[in-house]
A and B are shown apart, each in its own frame.
Chain A
Amino acid sequence: MRIGALVPNSDLAYHPLIAQRYPMLASAILAGASAQLRNMASTGGNLLQRTRCYYFYDTATPCSKREPGSGCTAIAGLNRMHAILGTSEACIATHPSDMCVALAALEATVYVTGPAGVRAIAFADFHRLPGDTPQRDTNLQPKEIVTAVELPARGFSENYTYLKIRDRLSYAFALVSVAAALELEGERIKEARLALGGVAHRPWRDPSAEAALRGQDASQATFARAADLLLRDAKGFEHNAFKIGLARRAIVRALTQATAGTPQSQSNKKIG
């Protein structure tokens, strides 16, 4: 299924085929922003959201993402919202998107067009970790534009969830979010996808965590092992170390929701 870059987030979330085949994507979109923003936000634009790091926006403070080489102020500053995975000394910002977390789990493909023509970028290769070039959020090349996002056939429409934990019940960026998608054969996990939002410079996946789920019984112990693997390199800063424990519990909860076929409602804010 191919989604044009200009398709508004609302149209996408409420499209019957998305709701039917890729409900995790619909759910993730509806977990983000507000109805008004989703009406205006485009698919391509959502991919290219800038971080919400305070220091990136305040030109009175240094920020290597804004001014390469000026240093990361958040490391010794207000970093409660910041990354715990894939950080660098140059940047600990997070990618703010919810939609992208689901797209990462679904292994979407991003189509871009530039001077060299059309090319396809696997979703996992689209966003970058900060490294020493935090000013580059993505692997888009100069003069390339996003034209479409393509979803593979596998939609995980039975056993999925998008669980977002935030400081208020709507219209807030994720402290931690989890896209969890499973294919089950009875009690056994046949296929698994697990992506985190709010914890890194890009949606966070780890093949070893998904491998630890595959072929195993869908049990709390299995979920906990996968969570540990996904978070094995997590490193907290002064104000955000709580995210590690929170992410661990959120992963287990999300996998429990997905297994039960009771995805998190995005309208009733009670966590299922």
Chain B
Amino acid sequence: MTTYIGTATSRVDGRAKVTGAAKYAGEFNTAGLAHASVVTSTIAKGRIARIDASEALSVAGVIDVFTHQNRPPMASTDSAYKDDVAPEGAPFRPLYNDRIWFSGQPVALVVAEEPEIARFAASLVRVEYDEEAYVTDVHRQREAAFALEPDENPFAPPKPRGAAEQAFAAAAVRHRGEYYVPIEHHNPMELFASTVIFEPDGKLTVYDKTQGVQNVQRYLCSVLGMQPDEVRVLSPFVGGAFGSGLRPQYQALLAALAARAVNRSVRLVLTRQQMYGLAYRPAMIHEITLGANAGGTLDAVMHEAVTVTSQYEDFHRQETGWSGLLYKCANAKYALRLARLDLPTPCDMRAPSAPPAVYALECAIDELAVALKLDPLELRLKCYSDRDQHTDRPYSSKSLRECYRQGAETFGWDKRNPEPCSMREGAELVGWGMATGVWEALQVPIAVRVVLTANGHAEVSCATSDIGTGTYTIMAQVAADMLGLPLDNVTIKLGDSTLPQSPVEGGSWIAASVSNGITTTAGVVREELLRLAKRMPNSPLANAKVDEVALADGRLVSKRDALRTVSIADAMRHGGVDRIEQETTTTFAQDSSHAQNTHSAVFAEVKVDEQLGVIRVTRVVSAVAAGRILNTKTASSQIMGGVVWGIGMALHEETLVDHNFGRIMNANIAEYHVPVNADVHDIKVIFVDEPDEIVNPLGVKGLGEIGIVGVAAAIANAVYHATGKRVRDLPITLDKLQR
């Protein structure tokens, strides 16, 4: 039954990717393709006073220059710009009017015969502004930060429980710490790009870098006033997105706008610099307050967070609730405030707010362990919770204890000397730190179509995306197992808005959703095959019920008697059909009786040069409990990628804004540091066994996000253990160890 599920199957699209056969949004070509280039604002707030495009228009090969003054018509209501995952507020409208909301905002679009001409001409567009005062520093805006009304806020902090303030006041051991995480950008390798094919009948075929083709399709139709059948959006391959492609980005709309204006196909590829004007994980200030009794159990948890949003939308996610969820504690309370800054609206970035929030919590827990003179792992075990602390429900499954055990054993945690600065190797101090990670096991309604042909081949389709995570591969594995076919006989189609309905690929929900979706549709196909098989003369399956048969090796097989079988080909031939096509939508019951989460235990070793402060992360062990693992190879890669990003979050990543200009200054990947190979050493990934018959029929929880959560805290805690210095603002650069 499960030949492929759970194995280390290599990516089915691997060859296409490494040979370059896989085409990305900016690589699709068509005859007469025109090229566009964006001009972006140099001020953070104000109005465009004048735009002079005459010099740009005089360049040979320039077709047109669009600004808010001469752009084609666009929708005029906020609701038209609301995509599937838009937060509350009035979405940004590119080239809509003279208003400037943030530095780096598109203010003009040059369309030309060649990309080089477009880009050169874009440099000749002169823009004058009436500038207004702006604020881009969360610290400056902290006092003015506001709380959202709970009923308007789907990600509102959980309700408080107990009496946290009183419990804190009475606690034997107390810790209060403030932790800061700066703006970070997604920096996917692939540049944001859209190639809009202008079809002869005026319809648009849009190749877009996105995590949700149907989201972009609806958005374009809505903003451009087009019918659903007039816009098709495709995104067969995505070179990383990490949340930056959840909402439609402006290049898709501008390329479509331009194509319709010049009656030609248009490609728009943003530059790396321009991508820093799209979206980002906001800067956050987290204050964690913990009270414990001397024995090491928690009496009070308080979490106050300030996060950043734009002037026009209220973006935030669950910033504070993780603190009250993770550990057993009778008293908890939360507060979240948003600071409006003159920046673009932030967006989801890998496990949205959990990495900064859990970084803060898990460093605070480490500080509490020091105050309690307890091993940090022991403290976490003392506070271990078998029930969701917010709602006092059991978990559908929670193998975090096993993550701690296996992670600690693999890492060798028991050899840790608890004293800071106590372990060294030559000129380097050695530090060991650990942290917990947590995320949600989410699932969303999804439709899957299966077309099974009599030659034993299946085409499985769904409008979801594969943003590099391995969705093609796990879909093929699940379909092959559920239809009883060899992997090579399964073709996966995704990333096309005309395919069966799928929400955006985010939240780690696609693996669970689509794998169960395939299972559902495959079940209907099996039912149809059985119906045909039963009609055969002397059918060996004449009395079989659908749940009594399985598909294996190209045959319907009775689970009771393996000798009772009918081949798929025979059943279809006798039934007089050469193909079976089924499409079903799978929904997931809202199980309010169980909490559904993934967990991890992360152990990190750092070596810090005592004199120079240079930090090396020499070892990381990440033990993950995420239900059933569909593919141990792509799953390990996912977690490893999360760990690498966690290293970046801990030590390297920071979007630098010059608040004098309200402008991002390190908008390139030379100056915005992510870890390079030299920064990444030994990473071990462990998946602990976590059977879960409650979460969904396959027991799959998804693991796109869990890999990054907790990593920065484990490293920060290791740096403390190595050096005795507690750096509470990321990234931990060597100068901060000298303070």
Contacts and interface: CB of A to CB of B under 8 A. Distances in A.
Contact of B673 (A78, A168, A250, A271): A168
Contact of A253 (B612, B656, B671): B612
A168 to B, nearest CB: 5
A270 B607 contact: yes
B616 A269 contact: yes
Contacts of A55: 665
Contacts of A253: 611-612
Interface residues of A, number: 31
Contacts of A207: none
B146 interface: no
Interface stretch (B497-505, B634-642, B730-738): B730-738
Most chain B Cβ neighbours within 10 Å, of A73, A167, A252: A167
A168 B731 CA distance: 11
Interface stretch (A42-50, A133-141, A241-249): A241-249
B180 to A, nearest CB: 16
Nearest to A163: B612
A183 B43 CA distance: 55
Given A169-B616, A269-B616, A270-B607, A76 B660 contact: yes
Interface string A170-195: 11100100000000000000000000
A80 B666 CA distance: 12
Contacts, number: 87
A252 B609 CA distance: 14
A258 to B, nearest CB: 16
Interface in B587-626: 607, 609, 611-614, 616
Contacts of A269: 616, 678
B665 A168 contact: no
Contacts of B613: 246
A171 B670 CA distance: 8
Given A54-B671, A170-B678, A246-B735, A78 B42 contact: no
Q: Give the dominant DSSP class at A's interface.
A: loop
Contact of A169 (B663, B676, B735): B676
A60 B679 contact: no
A152 interface: no
Contact of B656 (A78, A245, A249): A78
Contact of A170 (B656, B658, B679): B679
B611 A249 contact: yes
Counting contact residues on chain B (CB < 8 A from A), the size range is: 20 to 34
B673 A167 contact: yes
Interface in B540-563: none
B38 interface: no
Contact of A271 (B609, B652, B660, B666): B609
A52 interface: yes
Nearest to B735: A242
B666 to A, nearest CB: 6
Contacts of A78: 656, 658, 665-666
Among A59, A60, A168, A246, residue most surrounded by chain B Cβ atoms (within 10 Å): A168
Given A61-B661, A167-B652, A250 B612 contact: yes
Name which of A61, A169, A270 has the most chain B CB atoms within 10 A of its CB.
A169
A201 B663 CA distance: 25
A165 interface: yes
Nearest to A243: B735
A61 B658 contact: yes
A114 interface: no
Interface string A56-99: 00111100000000000100111010000000000000000000
A171 B675 CA distance: 9
B103 interface: yes
Contact of B652 (A61, A77, A168, A249): A168
5 cross-chain pairs, A with B, having the tightest CB-CB distances, nearest first:
A60-B42, A170-B678, A242-B735, A169-B678, A54-B665
Interface of A: 34, 52, 54-55, 58-61, 73, 76-78, 80, 165, 167-172, 175, 242, 245-246, 249-250, 252-253, 269-271
Interface of B: 42-43, 103, 427-428, 607, 609, 611-614, 616, 651-652, 656, 658, 660-661, 663, 665-666, 670-671, 673, 675-679, 733-735, 738
